[in-house]
Amino acid sequence: MAKFNVKQRQTLVTAEGAPGFARAPRSELFLLAVSNLVGEDTFYEGAADRDARFRELVRTVAVADPEWFARFVRWLRLGANLRSASVVAALEGARAQVSEGIPGSRAVVDSALQRADEPGEALAYWLGRHGRSLPKPVKRGVADAAVRLYHERSLLKYDSEAASVRFGDVVDLTHPVAKDERQGELFRHALDRRHKRDNPVPASLSLLAARAELMALPVEQRRDTTDPEVLRAAGMTWEALAGWRQTAMDAAAWEGVIPSMGYFALLRNLRNFDAAGVSDAVAEQVAARLCDPDEVAKSRVLPMRFLSSYNAAPSLRWAYPLEKALQLALANVPALDGRTLILIDTSGSMNSDFSRDGSLRCWDAATVFGLALAARAKKPAVVSFSTTSKVFPSRRGESVLAGVRRFREDGYFLNAGTQTAQAVWKHYDGHTRVVVLTDEQAHWHGQEDVVAAVPREVPVYTWNLAGYRLGHTAPEDNRYTFGGLSDSAFSMIPLIEAGSREVWPF
């Protein structure tokens, strides 16, 4: 969430004809990376063009500013929690740096791989795009990640026969040096699995041995195996359990695996728990984990995911823990003084995918953060804008999730054009600051630009949810553009207002 304030002013036009302003490469890369679903179309830009622009920006910045680029890739994966974008950035950046003789890309590649399926994902991307010739920094970075991430549980969870590049392929191609004898046996076993060698599971790999025992059970006995400790000892995930049972997951099956499920797995299965009839006692345990501060912090789940689960889960028993969890995830939202005007773009282009599965739209994400910011601001005014605009009235003590539901049910998703300038002119009234959540693709109706109504001494903060090339404000003093909607995004506002200028979240 940096200040994208550069001296050049290049006026072009947005997709809807309003003045558009070019950004510096680092700024354009940042905005695109935090809002890009690799390989996915957006409202105004096709996947191929968008991905090509991303790769070109990565190559430019990785060579021009290697130190910034290294910090950026690490943050993109660990701070913004974006997997595909960080993998592509790390590999394309490494390729550009190797060609220019710039050191350091091994560590960048390693930093982008934080889940055990990602070394394989990285190699699959490279092989598909650049062939089998692996530069040493790429090979060693992937190998470093494999040593860090490969263990028995990760092999059981992620070494899928459906993957084109499996754990054994990673070992074959990158030759990681095992950190101890046990991991060496794991690597050899991964190779055996990949090449279908009928070698016994090494004695040191007790988890794999326990799984093998369960797999040997007749199908008719599997449905009665619901002891949580037995399932945990065999590293049985809910996905593996569902396939192994060869029947639908009933309440007993869910209750057997819930104690060993991760936070995100719990969050995405609330509707399934209700459909299977999981008991209230077990549901209370799940609810306690959902709103446990340590669990929320460790999960790094983005706040919009709580909205998705809230929308999907039919039972009211999840509403309070999800609301509490969302509040915890928004711990870095500042308590803003003065008067804050919050403008939420609900035009047609914002009714496009924000999440890969389509369960959240861009305007959902914008509304979550707009209302969260309003809940923490001293004197907020929230406005939904499209071709027209509507003030969203606040209710004392209302939760963010309840506010989002009221926003939807009372018709604040307007779904027409993008009259950003008109909304600012209409609703700005001496506010201390203006916050706009949008894709920046404003229509043109003769105004100088979309924030001309706001005095230069009043800061205007734009959160761009789509990462298009051109923005709706000139990169000049007191006009700031940010990308993405992570839980730390809004913490940049008080830093800027306290006098910081070149601020990045890493």
**pLDDT for 46:** 57
Q: Which DSSP string do the residues of 23-66 spell out, in sequence order?
A: --HHHHHHHHHHH--TT---SSS-HHHHHHHHHHHHHHHHHH-H
pLDDT, tens digit (0-9, with 9 covering 90-100), for 23-34: 688 878 886 776
226-239 pLDDT, tens per residue?
999 999 999 999 99
Q: Are 415 and 393 in contact (CB under 8 A)?
A: no
Q: Which of 1, 51, 69 is nearest to 487 (CA)?
A: 1
Among 193-197, 290-294, 421-425, 489-493, the minimum mean pLDDT is found in 489-493
List CB contacts of 111: < 8 A, sequence separation 6 or more: 70, 73, 74, 77, 78, 90
The per-residue pLDDT of the chain, averaged, comes to: 86
- For the cut 90, the answer to whether the pLDDT of residue 461 exceeds it is no
Backbone angles phi, psi at 12, to 5 degrees: -120, -150
Of residues 414 and 41, the one with the higher pLDDT is 414
> In sequence order, what are the residues at sequence separation of 6 or more whose Cβ sits closer than 8 angstroms to the Cβ of residue 171?
146, 187, 190, 191
- Residue length, the chain? 506
Average pLDDT over residues 467-478: 58
Query: Which pLDDT value is given to residue 476?
Result: 61
Q: How confident is the model at residue 117 (pLDDT cuts 50, 70, 90)?
A: very high
Phi, psi of 16 (to 5 degrees): -110, 10
pLDDT for the residue 183: 98
Rounded mean pLDDT of 150-167? 95
Q: Is 356 helix (H, G, I), strand (E, B) or coil?
A: coil
Residue 219: pLDDT band (50, 70, 90) is: very high
- The structure tokens listed for 227 are 């002891």
Enumerate residues 6+ apart whose C-beta is below 8 A from 93: 58, 59, 61, 62, 69, 73, 105, 108
For residue 67, what are the CA distances in angstroms to 15, 83, 302? 34, 21, 27
* Domains observed in the chain: 11-195 (no CATH), 262-332 (no CATH), 334-397+405-500 (3.40.50.410)
pTM: 0.74
Does the pLDDT at position 359 exceed 80?
no
Average pLDDT over every residue of 428-455: 79
Instruction: List, in order, residues 6 or more apart from 144 with CB less than 8 Å away.
Output: 106, 109, 110, 176
Q: At 121, list the tokens.
A: 């994902």
Q: Which helix (H) or strand (E) holds 90?
A: helix 83-99
Quick: pLDDT tens for 95-113: 999 999 999 999 999 999 9
pLDDT of residue 21: 56
* Position 125 pLDDT exceeds 80: yes
pLDDT greater than 70 at residue 277: yes
Confidence of residue 119 (pLDDT cuts 50, 70, 90): very high
Task: Of 315-329, 401-415, 466-480, give the lowest mean pLDDT range.
Answer: 466-480
433-438/339-345 β-pairing: parallel
The Cα angle at residue 154 between residues 152 and 160, in degrees rounded to 5: 110
pLDDT of residue 156: 95
CA dist., res. 170 & res. 127, Å (int) = 12
pLDDT tens sequence across 238-272: 999 999 999 999 999 999 999 999 999 999 999 99
pLDDT score at 487: 53
pLDDT of residue 71 exceeding 60, the answer is: yes
Strands 389-392 and 379-385: antiparallel
CA distance 142 to 126: 11
Task: Tell me the two tokens of residue 382.
Answer: 């929230």
Record the tokens describing residue 84, joined without a space: 């595909």
Query: By percentage, how much of the chain surpasses pLDDT 70?
Result: 83
